[in-house]
Amino acid sequence: MKNIVEGTDSNFAQEVLQSNTPVLVDFWAPWCGPCRMVAPVVEEIATELNGKLKVVKVNTDENFGVASQYGIMSIPTLGIFKNGKMVDAVIGAVPKYHLVNKIQPHLDAVN
């Protein structure tokens, strides 16, 4: 998956919390149907907002530490991180426009 980073318990701080750009984190699991439904939308957003937004996918089955740290109870949870903090989140498979509308206010203005 181009433009998407695989997030793990060990690289989460570096890839997400220390990122200079806003980050969309897709908390997902392979067995999750809605996660598979939202995956193409996440990939489209990763391509369209490349350079403005970083996209990281975290498999919650393999990276329980990060998921529990952020209280992820339902997947997919799409967390929006900026300056090392989760500033917004969308739970469940949602239409692309809904996700983009949530992300847009957190993108840095580009002159």
**Do 27 and 77 contact (CB within 8 A), yes or no?**
yes
Q: Beta-carbon neighbour count of residue 98 at 10 Å?
A: 12
Marked catalytic residue, from 16, 24, 25, 32: 32
Q: Is the dihedral of CA 59, 60, 64, 67 positive or negative?
A: positive
- Element at 40 (helix H, strand E): helix 33-48
12 is catalytic: no
Give yes or no: 53 in active site. no
What one-character DSSP code corresponds to residue 15?
A: I
Q: Which one is catalytic: 35, 45, 49, 55?
A: 35
Whether residue 61 contacts residue 29, with contact meaning beta carbons closer than 8 Å, is answered with: yes
Q: Which residues belong to the active site?
A: 32, 35
